[in-house]
Amino acid sequence: MRRQRNVKIVATLGPASSDYETIRALHEAGADVFRLNMSHGSHEEIAERHRIIRKVETDLDSAIAILADLQGPKLRVGTFANGSEELVEGAAFRMDLDETPGDVNRVNLPHPEIFQALEPGASLLVNDGKIRLKVESCGVDFADCSVVIGGTISNRKGVNVPDVMLPLAALSEKDRKDLEFVCELGVDWLALSFVQRAKDVFEAKGLADGRAAVLAKIEKPKAVEFFEEILDASDGIMVARGDLGVELPVSAVPPIQKRLIRKCRSAAKPVIVATQMLESMIESPMPTRAEVSDVATAIYEGSDAIMLSAESAAGQYPIEAVQTMDQVAKEVEADGTYREVINASRKAVGTTVADGIVAAAREIAEKTDIKAIACFTQSGTTALLTARERPSVPILAMTPIEGTARRLALSWGCNCVVTPTVERFKGAVVAAVRGARAGGFASEGDQIVVTAGVPFNVSGTTNILRVAPCDERLIYSTDPE
């Protein structure tokens, strides 16, 4: 299914979008990737949504990526004898390992690893940062704090610890079970929460064992601090602005977003911008102007994908939310300023033959009347390198591997085509021309660029480029040479 845009749309599934008709309508409206949130829903419900997505994929003959988002460890306070208490600015408040229900002076925090890492002066944020505490003194089983910002604290509210590296693995026991379950189901991407260092990503990749690509969610200050090593370890990145905006000053998030997107592009790894992009559309059929501007900014910055969360999972207008993103993307990408920004942010990177081939393909396409760039890829690397160039013509990602096509559905500009295995370059050219014409990317008399690697069907061998005419004789060619 050809999109008239390059940026991809990720739609989260949930109670408002769990049946065949809605999921199909979401894909037809513009959703390229479906996110399964492992924080909500039983394994049976997740499996049913997965089954429906694959049926939609088959019915529409359109590669769809499925992203399973692992919950990660959840840090929460215990309970209160009265259900809640009001904390006043300047008051003293203790968190400890005592399981006795809390009061206005203290509450249980059942996470000894937090106390092991805390130091005086550190901040503790409760209920998405609405309450801010400053640690005055601490030990192995307590933290005596002063209330910096007060408010109502109630049972099992979440806790964020922005200032220290917590000795916690990104994968909880639930996450390990969920990871194995969704890998057996056959998801294409895993989103890893609570990432603080590259070690967290390596652990998840070891458990996935190649069955799914691993995408690191950047939602903690430590992840920003160690971003380069996390990026190197990951297959992709999600800029999860929700927790990031809680643990860092909100004014710091926009420049961090811009910086991370550029680094991901340089590394030829897909990046998703997520959280509260069209939040008002949970209850309204129309977004705010600020939300539209936010979506547009992520597109201008060159992100691979933009994501809907509650808007499509639990909102009243899931299809309209996707349509809005689709319309904004088309409008932005049709703006001449968009191309200027994308070209200005391109960096000359890489020293391999493959880097040179994809750069040459983009230059040829821009300087001559080329309709598309068709790249043959096994692992997806050549298509990712081509996407890094952000060419002004469509990218046809040609692969004989269905899983590769699905994973590439997340990447900027990639129109994924599953082809029969080819053994010679002539066969690749024929397949590319057929794919370009069948998809409406080129017509008789047009030309496309074809890139591939010889020997065929070996990852990492991109070393050949040809400008091919989209002639009728090539479509029906049976010449194997």
Query: What local confidence, expressed as pLDDT, does residue 478 receive?
Result: 55
50 half-sphere exposure, CB direction, 13 A CA radius: 22
Mean pLDDT of 229-234: 98
More confident of the two residues 308 and 462:
308
* pLDDT: which is higher, 477 or 384: 384
pLDDT score of 404? 96
Whether the Cβ atoms of residue 412 and residue 333 lie closer than 8 Å to each other = no
Q: pLDDT by residue (tens digit) across 385-424?
A: 999 999 999 999 999 999 999 999 999 999 999 999 888 8
pTM: 0.94
What whole-number percentage of the chain has pLDDT above 70?
A: 98
pLDDT value at position 380?
94
When pLDDT is cut at 50, 70 and 90, the band that residue 344 belongs to is very high
Query: Taking 80 as the threshold, does the pLDDT of residue 194 lie above it?
Result: yes
Asked if pLDDT for residue 474 goes beyond 70, the answer is no
The residues annotated as belonging to the active site are: 35, 76, 217, 275
Contact yes or no for 114/55 (Cβ under 8 A): no
Which of 173, 229, 225 has its CA nearest to residue 201? 229
Sign (positive/negative) of CA torsion 310, 311, 312, 318? positive
Tokens 């989209």 locate to 470
Taking the CA atoms of 312, 317, 323 and 329 in sequence, report the sign of the dihedral they define.
Answer: negative
Q: How confident is the model at residue 480 (pLDDT cuts 50, 70, 90)?
A: very low
Q: How far apart are the first and last CA of the chain?
A: 31
Distance CA 205, CA 230 (A): 12
Q: Is the pLDDT of residue 476 over 70?
A: no
| Domains defined for the chain, CATH in brackets | 8-72+170-340 (3.20.20.60), 84-160 (2.40.33.10), 353-475 (3.40.1380.20)
Measured over the CA atoms of residue 94, residue 95, residue 101 and residue 103, the dihedral's sign is positive
* pLDDT at residue 475, as a whole number: 62
What confidence tens digit (pLDDT) does each residue in 296-328 have?
999 999 999 999 999 999 999 999 999 999 999
User: Predicted confidence band at 347 (pLDDT cuts at 50, 70, 90)?
Assistant: confident
The two beta strands, 123-126 and 131-138, are antiparallel
Predicted confidence (pLDDT) at residue 232 exceeds the cutoff of 90: yes
Mean of pLDDT values over 24-31: 98
**Among 168, 166, 126, which Cα is nearest to 149's?**
126
pLDDT class of 481 with cuts at 50, 70, 90? very low
**pLDDT of 373:** 98
Q: Across the strands, what pairs with 92?
A: 146
**Mean per-residue pLDDT, 415-441:** 91
Task: Give every CB contact of residue 248 below 8 A, 6+ residues apart in sequence.
Answer: 162, 221, 224, 256
pLDDT tens digits for range 59-87: 999 999 999 999 999 999 999 999 999 99
Q: For residues 325-336, b (16+ Cβ closer than 10 Å) or e, as one string?
A: bbebbbebbeee
The predicted pLDDT at position 68 comes to: 98
CA 134 – CA 132 distance, rounded (Å): 7
What pLDDT, in 10s, does the model give residues 127-173?
A: 989 999 999 999 999 999 999 999 999 999 999 999 899 998 899 99
C-alpha triplet 54, 57, 63: angle, nearest 5°: 110
pLDDT of residue 455: 78
